[in-house]
Amino acid sequence: MAGKIVFESQSFVLSSGARANPRASTNPAQERARRSPLPVVVGCPRSGTSLLAVMLDSHPEVAVPPETAFIGAVATLRGSNEAVRQSFFDAVTADRIPISNWSDFGLDKDLLWRRLEAIDPFTVTAGLRAFYAMYAEGEGKPRYGEKTPGYVFMMPQIAALLPEAHFIHLIRDPGDTVLSWRKTWFAPS
């Protein structure tokens, strides 16, 4: 059976054009978010999320970083600006072996810290946007996406943090997924 792609949100345009929305917000931040949707690829591991991320990343305007795996650690941060900023930085720059390492992103920690310090007042949402924007700039692209399969369980939290998120939930035939797992070097014998 062929795989099936299910779109959990409205479609989005990867070119520079923006679609008209009769319910457009008058809030400038919300308006920018509406014009620049953030594609978020989620799904079961071995379902094709990496392939789709590579395809999105090949677009000249979209940079998709390696799996981040840190949104769960930052989504619940509360407290004063400085405490939240420091906790955010620590969570984002931590190594999450075997999922991801800070070095996978090719970003400078000091530069990220300076960007986070410039955000006033600091919020997790602003911090996430700063991280993704910094990654996209490093790739020479104006926009960014996200691909972490495990975020399939966090779509409501991500949507609350990043209203511009448009989820692409990949669903693959379970039998094919199991066969794909069996072919990996770390599969049980």
pLDDT at residue 43, rounded to an integer:
93
Q: Which whole-number Å values give the CA distances from 17 to 12, 14, 38, in the listed order?
A: 10, 8, 15
CATH class of 4-9+33-182: alpha beta
pLDDT at residue 16, rounded to an integer:
38
Chain-centroid distance of CA 175 in Å reads 27
pLDDT at residue 72, rounded to an integer:
92
The list of the chain residues with pLDDT below 50 reads 1-25, 29-34
Cut 0.85: pTM above it: no
pLDDT at residue 21, rounded to an integer:
41
- d(Cα 106, Cα 78) in Å, to the nearest integer? 28
In the chain, domain spans: 4-9+33-182
pLDDT at residue 187, rounded to an integer:
61
